[in-house]
Amino acid sequence: MSERSDFNDLAREVGGGAVTAVISSAIANHRQRDEIAAKRDSEVRQIGENWPDPILPGHVPVPDIPVDLLPSWVKDMAGAVAESTQTPPALAVMVSLSVLATCLHRRFEVAPWGEDDDYTEPLSIWTLTALPSGSRKTAVIGALAAPLVHWEKLERDRLRQEIARAHSARLVAKKRIEKLTKDAVNAENDQERERIRKMIEDEENAMPPELRAPRLFTGDVTAERLQALLVEHGERMSVMSDEAGIFLIMAGMYSGGMASLDVFLQGHAGMPMRVDRADRCAHVDRPALTFGLALQPGVLADVASSRRFRDSGLLARFLFAMPDSNVGQRDVRRRWSIPNYIRQEYERRLHGLLDGREQFASKPRVLGMTAPARDIWLDFADEIEKQQGERGALESIADWSSKLPGAAARIAALFELGEDGEAAREVGESATSKAVALCRLLIQHAHAAFGLLGADATDTDATTIVKWAREGGHISFSKRQCQKAMEGRFRTISRLDKALERLAHSDVARIDKVPNKGAPPTTMIRMNPKLFVDSI
C-alpha cells in the first residue's frame, strides 16, 4: 500500500476533507525537503571532488615502516618475524632497534662532528610500539630477543665455575677480615694493631671482585633495582616488555605515588648517576638504558598521559610507532615458519656483537661521521629545527622533535655497527641516510602518539571547530563568526589561528582573505565539503 493511501485511510477514519488536505500538504512538503536535501548533497559531492580527502584532527595517517631500512641480516630476521606472526613490520623494526642497542650501548658512542669533538651521543634507544591486545606483540619480542636470552645462558654456563670460585674466595676473605678486625680491637699495643690493620688491608686488596652472570635486559623492575642492575652489569641495562608495569613503576606504584624518573632520564642521556641513601648507594658514571616496549594504545593513553611524564621530557625520549593493526585480517590457515638459516645468521651476528662485551665498564669507543654522512645529518637537523617554531609543523611536539636529530645519529651508528661490527671506524653515508629516512617516517607516528596521549591542545581546538561546523552546517564562515560562537575556548585570536592553520594543513579547511571596501579584509574559512555529505 502506498504512503498516500495510508494517509487517506487515516483521514477517512478521523473524518473530514480538511484533514486530508493537511496530510497531503505535509507529504508534499516532506518530499520537497527530501528533494532539496538530495540536491544539496549532490552539489556538495560535486564540489568535494575538487578537494583532497580531509585528515581529521586526532586521526593522523601513519606511513609504513619497512624492514628494508635495517642492516641486511637484521632486515632478513625482522621481515621473517613480521611475516611469520602476520604483524605490522613497524613492530619488528622497533624491537630490532632496541635489540641492537642492547648489544652496543655503553660500549660505543657517536660524534657527528668527529671523534675528537666534545658532543657525543650514547647509543641507548627507547622504542614504544602501540598495538591492541591480541596483536602478537609477545611473539615478536620473544623471537627477536631470543638470541639475547641464549647468550645469557651460554655466559652463565661458561662462568659458572669462575663465579663459584670468586664467591667462595670472597666469603673466606670476609670471614678472615672479620676475625682480624676482632684481633685488632683486642691488640695489646698500637704497633700490633697497625700490623693487623695492614693485614686487613691486604686481604681487602686481594679479595677478587664479585662476579655475576651477565644480564642484558629485564622486564619488570623498580627504579631502585634498576639502579642496582646498572651498577652490577657494566653501567648498562635494557627493559624489553609488552606490559605497562614499567610505566606504573615510573608513576610511583611502589613509592607512595611519588614518580621516580631520575634513573630513567639519566640512563637515556648517559649522565652520571649518584645515589647516596641510608639503605643503598649507586654510583654510575655513564649509565646506558634502552627500552623496547610494545603496549596497547589504551594502556598508553591511560598510563603515560601523566603531565609529569611530558614535563620531565620522559615521553620526548621515546621513538613511537603507531602502526595500523591487522587483527581481524590475518589468515588463520596460513603458517609460515622463520627459515633456520635466517634465524641462525641473526643469532650468530648478534652474538658476534656481544663478543667484545666486558663485565666491567671501560671507556666507550667513539665513532665519528664521514663528511657526506655529516652533511646528510646536518640537513636533517636543519629541516627539523625550521619546523619547530611558532606555527611550524612540529610546534606541538617540539620537545620530542628537538631530540630527533640526536636519535638519528644514534640509529646511524647502530646501523653502521650492525653491518660492520667492531671493524666500523666511522658512520658512513648509507647508514646515515637510512637512519634519517626512518626518523622522517617516525614523525607522523609521533604526531599520532601525542594525539593519543591528549598532549596536543591545538588538535583538541581543531576538533572542536570541526564539530561546531558540522553540527551547524557551516560550510563557510568568517573567523570572527567562529570565535564568537566559541568565545569561551578562543579567548585569543592566536589560539584560534593555530587551530585553523592545523585544519588547513590537514586539508580540512581553506583560509581566504576577502577584500572589503574601506575596511580590512575578512578572513573566511571554507570547510572541506566531504565533511558534510553525511551530515547535511
pLDDT digits (tens, 9 = 90+) for 378-394: 999 999 999 998 878 89
Sole residue written with cell 641495562: 237
The more confident residue out of 501 and 99 is 99
Task: Copy the grid coordinates of residue 506.
Answer: 590537514
- CA–CA gap between residue 390 and residue 392 (Å, rounded): 5
Q: Mind listing the pLDDT tens digit for each residue in 142-184?
A: 999 999 999 999 999 999 999 999 999 999 999 999 999 999 9
Tell me which long-range contacts 75-82 makes (C-beta under 8 A, separation of at least 24): 76/342, 76/345, 76/346, 77/143, 77/144, 77/338, 77/342, 77/343, 77/345, 77/346, 78/144, 80/338, 80/339, 80/342, 80/343, 81/140, 81/143, 81/144, 81/338, 82/140
Beta bridge partners of 37: none
Cβ distance 247 to 261 under 8 Å? Answer: no
Q: What's the average model confidence in pLDDT over 285-313?
A: 82
| Residue type present at position 331 | D
- Please give the order of strands across the beta sheet that includes 509-516: 476-478, 519-527, 509-516
Query: What mean pLDDT value characterizes the chain?
Result: 87
pLDDT at 461 over 60: yes
Q: What's the average model confidence in pLDDT over 495-507?
A: 88
The more confident residue out of 432 and 222 is 432
DSSP letter assigned to residue 316: G
Strands annotated E in 409-492: 426-427, 476-478
Q: What is the pLDDT of residue 536?
A: 39
Other Cβ atoms less than 10 A from the Cβ of 372: the count is 13
Question: In angstroms, how far is CA 442 from the centroid of its own chain?
Answer: 9
Do strands 426-427 and 476-478 pair parallel, antiparallel, or not at all (unpaired)?
A: unpaired
Indicate the pTM of the whole model: 0.78
Residues 6+ apart with CB under 8 A from 337: 84
* pLDDT band, residue 509 (cuts 50/70/90): very high
Q: Mind listing the pLDDT tens digit for each residue in 188-213?
A: 899 999 999 999 999 999 998 888 99
Task: Copy the grid coordinates of residue 215.
Answer: 644480564
The more confident residue out of 519 and 257 is 519
Cβ distance 510 to 525 under 8 Å? Answer: yes
The more confident residue out of 332 and 259 is 332
Q: What is the pLDDT of residue 303?
A: 60
- CA–CA gap between residue 295 and residue 480 (Å, rounded): 43
Residues 6+ apart with CB under 8 A from 74: 96, 100, 346, 349, 418
- CA–CA gap between residue 285 and residue 268 (Å, rounded): 13
Cβ distance 406 to 121 under 8 Å? Answer: yes
The HSE-up count of residue 524 (CA atoms within 13 Å, CB side) is 12
Q: What is the pLDDT of residue 277?
A: 65
* Burial class of residue 118, CB neighbours in 10 A (0-12, 13-18, 19+): exposed
End-to-end CA, the chain? 30
Other Cβ atoms less than 10 A from the Cβ of 186: the count is 10
Q: What is the pLDDT of residue 1?
A: 47
Sole residue written with cell 500500500: 1
